[in-house]
Amino acid sequence: MPRIGMGEWIAAGGAIARGHLSRYGKQARYTNCFEKRLAQATGATHALAVSSGTAALISALAAAQIGPGDEVLVPAYTWMATATAVVMVGAVPVFVDIDETLTIDPGDIEAKITPYTRAIMPVHMGNAPCDMDAIMGIASRHGLLVIEDACQAVGVRYKDRHLGTIGHLGAYSFNKMKNMNIGEGGAVLTSDERYFVRARGYHDLGDLIRDHEGGLSEPSIIGVNYKVTEIQTAMAAVQLRKLGPMLERMRRRRAMMAEILSGSSEFRVTPHNDADNAVSLTILAPTKEAAVQLQGRRGVWNRLRDSSKHVYTNWEPILAQRTSHPKFNPWAWANREIRYDKDMCLRTLDILDRTCVVNLGMTYPSAVMRRVARGIAR
């Protein structure tokens, strides 16, 4: 992932030197500039900088008027914030199995749709894109919204379109584990003007007294405070310039290593929904025991089953349906009883048991990682 360097240091210092850290006012310039550049870079009509990826997900759901009585389909393998964001707007998450691409299974999406389903939240986990053609087709047939969680795939493309811009709304995250790192931050992307206005208002207490651009009208709504500072977006602009070259290097490295690893008889390279644009690399063993053995090889990271709150079985407060106050509990408002248990997505658990992450070694020469790949594939 990208490091913080001299460029970010100079940009943050410039914002501090100007003495105006709020995104609003005549002296503000960094946030508006970054939002325009992000929209241009991704092809979205609108981009809204917010304080985190979770804030982006919640703002996107609020913009789309997802709320009490609604069901939202989320994959059983994602950071817990995906499901938590649904709860925070008063809706309930419904868990959907993943397939071997490590992304939400379109077949199980179809199986989980009910009369109360309002939206699908595909998650592009670890830079692996979902099958967005299939998902958008399902959404169109059933009249559902698609809100992309692209927090772990900023800048990644699916068939020449940026992830986060294919659905009705998208969410990005900018922290140390993501493709852009400003410590903490995020963005909402959309090409729907009404969703943008609602997200903009929601992220700043209703947008009643701010000096936003004119020409956008929508009744104000009660909101929260998810604003960013000029320091954050000054750094984000530098990170955005680094993003394309970094991902291209990752794409080339991944292609080289995947070609070597595909010759192994012990495992398979994980299938990908757009191999030409792939920038992530995982391998799928035939059994859990075989995956455990692979972990001992240089260049092989953790099994995905061991990745903490990325696995639904570790979402304890959601499994328990426990909110900060009993009357805030959205399951009490649901149109049907929703129950969770740790065995409800066994296919997901089986795939995660057998999948290991391969380190692309971006700080090492290609020749070194070529040898590492041959060692893994021995």
SS3 71: strand
Q: Is 366 left (phi over 0), alpha (psi -120 to 50) or beta?
A: alpha
Cite the active site residues.
178
Task: For residue 189, give the H/E element and its range.
Answer: strand 186-190
Distance CA 358, CA 86 (A): 31
Classify strands 117-120 and 145-149 as parallel, antiparallel or unpaired.
Answer: parallel
SS3 of 321-378: the string is: CCCCCHHHCHHHCCCCCCCCCCCCCHHHHHHHHHEEEECCCCCCCHHHHHHHHHHHCC
SS3 185: coil
**What are the b/e assignments for 76-96, b being 16+ CB within 10 Å?**
bbbbbbbbbbbbbbbbbbbbb
